[in-house]
């Protein structure tokens, strides 16, 4: 196998390849001061099964091209550029071709990359076909390399660009003429539905490590409105871990905040609090997703979020804007942190002084109306028989302006009576547990309970309904309680004989809605969770039976 060396040096500082270059194994060396112009044919690192090393470039000068840049090397380790000295070169994408593609079956490790198109509406687009296991397109190494955005739109197109230089000057941009376009719906998401959640894989990953300073992720919309994300790490807030990085994406939603976002591990599942009315009208129509990864201790940073005033505000009075972030929890999959934070500059359209610390587990952010924030989070509501009394208990993760709770009871799901009231905490960011008693349950009859939460201003909301049947004899097979927990039906049984038992679920027409569930347990107390994500809202009949006893109980499935 032969390799060919093409040396371009200062004797001939300017070279023109109008028809493009296809490199099938050559080593191209461009020395300091030399510029290679490549026309509409672009540059292609060719795929050749007999030449597994493929072409490489040592660039100490400049490559300017108007065509596409394609790395089709067979091996993932070939990312085009090599460097035997401290000098790094630049690839400059120019001209009016739009979109101009950075693609191929493998990523490229650019040293410096410059976007300098003829028009500020011209697009350079990532379009690689490689799997993520092959890596990402990168810029720079651990000490240098710059992404320069002079003119035009750099569209990530559901791909990630990695900045290896930890300096906060490793991305430079012209605010009025350039920026990075994220704005994609990935993971099968769309504005038609809240889920599946949008992973928005159009990310800038900045390998910051232990560095500090102001890091600007210069996102723009397709109409070039800035929606940039600013991550400020003070000198006292540096992270621990040289491999630490921050990856960010952002996208516009519809006015219901569809699709909900995901950071790849945690997904938003509501724009309310669990069991609380939908509140998307008080959230702007944009999310920012910031993953802080690979640190031993994460940085303590503050954020600035720029929004598109013309399209994101959702009729919210701009001076009332603050920010809230999603908190992932078990079992409800998360809630919105109840205290909006930050300050707003309604002239320049950004929310700033948003604090984060090194304990933050998830960084999905949204701007909200600070007068009506995404509200109280009820983690659970359940009950059980204790002798001749019914104990009701519930847990809140956060509370905002919460005046009191009311326990209500019904025998027919139509007529409700007050059992008792319990004072709320007002405002809280801590998990709080509450307990109340129904001292006069109807023994042997299924009774239904719901929790009503009332704010200081008189606004209220209801939990899902739970059902409880207290028996005089605790030594018989019985249902202790049934309640809904998101998309699951939770059934607590008393099974003192530890006999196997079955569960069927029927609709009001008597049709079986799920296959018969069979359970075998050696425990007297047993909890079952049944997936009800495929069922519609409405009334159903749960039938639970063993060889000696059959129990039927009406249940209500609500929105989840």
Query: What's residue 245's pLDDT?
Result: 97
Query: What's residue 276's pLDDT?
Result: 47
- Other beta carbons less than 10 A from residue 469's beta carbon: 21
315 backbone φψ class: left, alpha, beta (φ>0; ψ -120 to 50): left
Query: What's residue 113's pLDDT?
Result: 98
Is the pLDDT higher at 203 or at 73?
203
Q: pLDDT tier at 508 (50, 70, 90 boundaries)?
A: confident
DSSP state of 312: H
Query: What's residue 347's pLDDT?
Result: 96
Q: pLDDT tier at 201 (50, 70, 90 boundaries)?
A: very high
Q: What is the pLDDT of residues 83-123, one digit of tens each?
A: 878 889 999 999 999 999 999 988 999 999 999 999 999 99
- Other beta carbons less than 10 A from residue 546's beta carbon: 17
Q: pLDDT tier at 49 (50, 70, 90 boundaries)?
A: low
DSSP string computed for 346-378? TTTTEEEEEE--TT----EEEEEETTS-S--EE
- Whether the CB-CB separation of 432 and 457 falls below 8 Å is answered with no
pLDDT at 159 over 90: yes
pLDDT at 131 over 80: no
- Whether the CB-CB separation of 184 and 251 falls below 8 Å is answered with yes
Most confidently predicted of 179-183, 361-365, 441-445? 179-183
- Other beta carbons less than 10 A from residue 536's beta carbon: 9
Q: Which two tokens stand for residue 142?
A: 């651990």
Query: What's residue 484's pLDDT?
Result: 81
Distance of CA 162 to the CA centre of its chain: 19
Architecture of the domain spanning 473-560 = Sandwich (2.60)
Percent of the chain with pLDDT strictly greater than 70: 89
pLDDT at 552 over 90: no
486 backbone φψ class: left, alpha, beta (φ>0; ψ -120 to 50): left
pLDDT at 431 over 50: yes
Query: What's residue 275's pLDDT?
Result: 44
Strands 171-173 and 147-155: parallel
The arithmetic mean of pLDDT across residues 464-493, rounded, is: 78
Strands 283-293 and 245-252: antiparallel
The arithmetic mean of pLDDT across residues 411-436, rounded, is: 88
pLDDT at 142 over 80: yes
Q: What is the pLDDT of residues 293-327, one digit of tens each?
A: 999 999 999 999 999 999 999 989 999 999 999 88
Q: pLDDT tier at 465 (50, 70, 90 boundaries)?
A: confident
Query: What's residue 537's pLDDT?
Result: 79
Q: What is the pLDDT of residues 323-373, one digit of tens each?
A: 999 888 655 567 787 678 899 999 999 999 999 877 665 689 999 988 766
- Is it true that 376-463 and 473-560 share their CATH fold? yes
Q: pLDDT tier at 488 (50, 70, 90 boundaries)?
A: confident
Q: Which two tokens stand for residue 314?
A: 């959702």
Query: What's residue 198's pLDDT?
Result: 95
Is the pLDDT higher at 271 or at 285?
285
Q: pLDDT tier at 139 (50, 70, 90 boundaries)?
A: very high
Q: pLDDT tier at 55 (50, 70, 90 boundaries)?
A: confident
Q: Which of 20-24, 132-136, 244-248 has the lowest mean pLDDT?
A: 132-136
pLDDT at 34 over 70: yes
In the 3-class helix/strand/coil scheme, how is 255-269 assigned residue by residue?
CCCCCCEECCCCECC
- Domain 376-463 of CATH type 3.20.19.10: no
241 backbone φψ class: left, alpha, beta (φ>0; ψ -120 to 50): left
CA-angle at 103, arms to 99 and 106, nearest 5°: 170
Q: Which are the contacts of 413, defined by CB distance < 8 A and separation ≥ 6?
A: 448, 465, 539, 554, 556
H-helix segments, 417-503 = none
DSSP state of 106: S
Domain locations in the chain as residue ranges = 9-181, 376-463, 473-560
pLDDT at 560 over 60: no
pLDDT at 32 over 70: yes
Average pLDDT, the chain: 86
The pTM of the full predicted model, rounded to 2 decimals, is 0.72
Q: How far apart are the first and last CA of the chain?
A: 63
Is the pLDDT higher at 43 or at 489?
43
């Amino acid at each position: 196998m032969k390799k060919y060396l093409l040396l371009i040096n200062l004797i001939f500082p300017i070279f023109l390849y109008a028809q493009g270059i296809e490199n099938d194994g050559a080593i191209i060396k461009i020395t300091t001061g030399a510029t290679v112009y490549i026309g509409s044919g672009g540059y292609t690192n060719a795929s050749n099964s007999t030449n597994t090393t493929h072409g490489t470039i040592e660039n100490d000068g400049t490559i300017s091209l108007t065509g596409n840049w394609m790395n089709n090397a067979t091996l993932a380790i070939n990312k085009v550029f090599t460097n035997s000295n401290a000098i790094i070169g630049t690839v400059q994408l120019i001209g009016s071709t739009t979109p101009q593609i950075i693609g191929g079956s493998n990523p490229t490790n650019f040293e410096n990359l410059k976007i300098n198109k003829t028009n500020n509406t011209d697009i350079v687009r990532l379009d690689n076909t490689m799997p993520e296991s092959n890596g990402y397109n990168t810029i720079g190494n651990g000490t240098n390399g710059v992404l320069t955005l002079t003119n035009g739109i750099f569209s990530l197109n559901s791909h990630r660009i990695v900045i290896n230089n930890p300096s906060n000057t490793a991305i430079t941009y012209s605010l009025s003429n350039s920026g990075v376009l994220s704005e994609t719906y990935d993971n099968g998401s769309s504005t038609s539905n809240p889920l599946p959640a949008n992973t928005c894989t159009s990310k800038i990953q900045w390998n910051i490590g232990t560095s500090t300073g102001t890091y600007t992720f210069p996102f723009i919309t397709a109409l070039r409105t800035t929606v940039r994300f600013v991550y400020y790490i003070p000198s006292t807030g540096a992270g621990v871990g040289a491999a630490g990085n921050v990856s960010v994406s952002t996208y516009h939603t519809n006015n219901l905040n569809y699709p909900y976002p995901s950071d790849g591990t945690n997904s938003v599942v509501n724009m309310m609090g669990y069991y609380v009315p939908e509140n998307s009208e008080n959230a702007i129509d944009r999310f920012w997703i910031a993953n802080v990864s690979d640190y031993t201790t994460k940085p303590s940073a503050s954020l600035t979020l720029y929004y598109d005033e013309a399209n994101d505000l959702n009729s919210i009075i701009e001076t009332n804007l603050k920010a809230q972030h999603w908190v992932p929890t078990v079992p409800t999959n998360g809630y919105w942190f109840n205290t909006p934070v930050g300050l707003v500059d309604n002239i320049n359209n950004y929310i700033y002084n948003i604090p984060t610390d090194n304990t933050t587990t998830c960084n999905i952010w949204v701007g909200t109306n600070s007068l009506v924030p995404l509200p109280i989070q009820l983690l659970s509501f359940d009950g059980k028989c204790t002798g001749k009394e019914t104990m009701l208990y519930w847990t809140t993760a956060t509370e905002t302006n919460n005046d009191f709770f009311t326990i209500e009871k019904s025998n027919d799901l139509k007529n409700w009576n007050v059992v008792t009231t319990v004072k709320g905490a007002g405002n809280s960011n801590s998990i709080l547990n509450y307990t109340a008693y129904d001292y006069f349950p109807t023994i042997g009859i299924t009774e239904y309970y719901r929790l009503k939460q009332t704010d200081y201003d008189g606004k209220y909301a209801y939990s899902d309904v739970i059902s409880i049947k207290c028996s005089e004899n605790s030594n018989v097979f019985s249902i202790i309680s049934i309640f809904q927990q998101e998309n699951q039906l939770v059934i607590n049984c008393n099974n003192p004989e530890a006999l196997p038992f079955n569960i069927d679920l029927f609709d009001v027409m008597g049709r079986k809605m799920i296959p018969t569930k069979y359970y075998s347990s050696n425990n007297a107390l047993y909890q079952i969770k049944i997936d009800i994500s495929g069922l519609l809202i409405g009334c159903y009949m749960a039938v639970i039976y063993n060889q000696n006893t059959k129990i039927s109980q009406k249940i209500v499935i609500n929105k989840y």
